[in-house]
Amino acid sequence: MIHIFVACVAAVVALASWFALLAVGRAYRRYQETFQNRARASASEFFLFLDPSQLWTLNLLVCGGLTLGAYVVAGSLIAATLAGAVALVAPHYVVASLRRRRLDRADRQLPDFLLALAGALRAGQGMQAALRQLVPHLSEPLAQEFGLMLREQRMGVAFDRALSQLYRRVPTEGMGLVVSSLKVAMQSGGNLAETLDRIAATVRGRLHLLGRIHALTAQGRLQAWIMTLLPPGMVVALSSLDPETISPLWQSPAGWAVLAAVAVLEATGILLIRRIVRIDI
């Protein structure tokens, strides 16, 4: 009877392990597909032509290296798992941060570009001729975006659709104003040069106000960084100075509970500070 019971338990465990492996495999393939699709889209936004499969392989290698390094340094599977999870998630946040910086750089370039475009229109040039003359003298990323728009038009894409695709690639408030004004001017006419001057002044004033807010909220952002880096720094220092005292934090259920509580409190504090210092205009 005992042998039958043990055999049934072993069969149930084997079946559960099989289904768990299937679930892990499906989750792995789903995450790989999502990662490659996001990598392909992000690379196209930055005008980079990279193989998503190679980026996925590089991400796995970095993840494995960080996991192994964390296990060697801390000697804990929990720390190694956390390091691997951070390595898997970090590329999305890095790409999002680079994309935000790129959009901010495009917004800062808009006022000068709009003033130059308004001057070309006042000189008697048409919209297409003015864009073809100004785009080669722009710097990235506006040179890439407007250059792509002009290439799309040469391939037969309508001007309205090219403007819509430009706004889809650069979805900022300033670009939205530019695209809307160009669409309205091409359909109904009007003094487009004066409109572009007003948009340039509006965008410049908004950027100036954003700069002041960024300076005034610098202390709050510094507090968020200090609050984020202080606990890991203390753990590293204590691990180097007195590893026997800090070892229960990695090797006992109570220590794991403390780490989980610290992580939750850290994340909550960071989110609250970000909500406070983030002011939309």
What confidence score (pLDDT) does residue 273 get?
A: 78
Residue 268: count of CB within 10 angstroms of its CB: 10
Largest CA distance in the chain: 98
How close are the terminal C-alpha atoms of the chain, in Å? Answer: 74
Exposure on the CB side of residue 44, measured as CA atoms within 13 A = 9
Q: Is the peptide bond before 141 cis (omega within 30 degrees of 0)?
A: yes
Amino acid (1-letter code) at residue 15: L
Phi and psi at residue 241, in whole multiples of 5°? -85, -45
Distance, CA of 64 to chain centre: 22
* Phi/psi of residue 17, nearest 5 degrees: -65, -40
What's the pLDDT at 46? 58
Coil vs helix vs strand at 123: coil
Q: Would you give per-residue pLDDT tens digits along the chain (281 residues)?
A: 566 655 665 666 666 666 666 666 676 677 667 666 666 665 565 555 556 676 777 777 777 777 777 777 766 676 777 777 777 777 777 777 888 888 888 888 888 888 888 888 888 877 778 888 888 888 888 888 888 888 888 888 888 888 888 888 888 888 888 888 888 777 776 677 888 888 888 888 888 888 888 787 777 778 777 877 888 788 777 777 777 777 777 777 887 788 888 888 888 887 887 777 776 66
The predicted pLDDT at position 18 comes to 67
Report how far residue 84's alpha carbon sits from residue 4's, in angstroms, rounded to the nearest whole number.
41
Q: How many CB atoms lie within 10 A of CB 207?
A: 16
Q: Please give the pLDDT value at position 154.
A: 84
